[in-house]
């Protein structure tokens, strides 16, 4: 299976952390809180749509906004494939960073 990119990984993790409350603003906020990166909505929604296409996440229609002509907010949820992708990612990291610890890169 193809590995996910770092940006995708960040978005997937943010969605997982947020649970039921994952939508545009909160995902962006979560990523900023976790990693300090300031994603624009352009990038974020591009990634979201791509991952929706790949089947990692699922878009869920929420309740319509309480105002005239309010549209329903779309929430995002991880699919089993998305969770598997995250597990694969961490497995890959474990294998990559095997027997390397904090002191490995120190000059002796």
- What tokens appear for 52 in the block? 């929706």
Tell me the C-alpha distance between 56 and 11, whole Å: 11
DSSP 52: H
Q: Which is nearer to other proteins, 24 or 88 (CB)?
A: 24
Number of helices and strands (H, E) in the chain?
A: 4, 2
Q: Which is nearer to other proteins, 9 or 88 (CB)?
A: 9
User: Interacting stretch for other proteins, rule CB under 8 A, among 13-21, 43-51, 85-93, 98-106?
Assistant: 43-51
DSSP 83: H
- Nearest distance, CB of residue 6 and other proteins, angstroms: 16
64 binds other proteins (CB under 8 A): no
40 binds other proteins (CB under 8 A): yes
79 binds other proteins (CB under 8 A): no
For residue 4, the number of C-alpha atoms closer than 13 Å in the C-beta half-sphere is: 27
Cα end-to-end distance, the chain, whole Å? 39
48 binds other proteins (CB under 8 A): yes
Binding region for other proteins (CB under 8 A)? 23-25, 28, 40-43, 45-46, 48-50, 65, 71, 73-74
């Amino acid at each position: 299976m193809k590995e996910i990119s770092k940006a995708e990984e960040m978005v997937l993790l943010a969605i997982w952390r947020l649970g039921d409350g994952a939508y545009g603003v909160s995902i962006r906020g979560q990523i900023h809180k976790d990693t300090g990166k300031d994603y624009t909505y352009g990038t974020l929604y591009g990634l979201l749509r791509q991952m929706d296409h790949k089947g990692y996440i699922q878009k869920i229609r929420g309740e319509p906004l309480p105002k005239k002509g309010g549209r329903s907010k779309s929430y995002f949820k991880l699919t089993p494939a998305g969770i598997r992708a995250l597990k694969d990612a961490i497995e890959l990291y474990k294998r990559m960073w095997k027997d390397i610890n904090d002191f490995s890169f120190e000059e002796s």
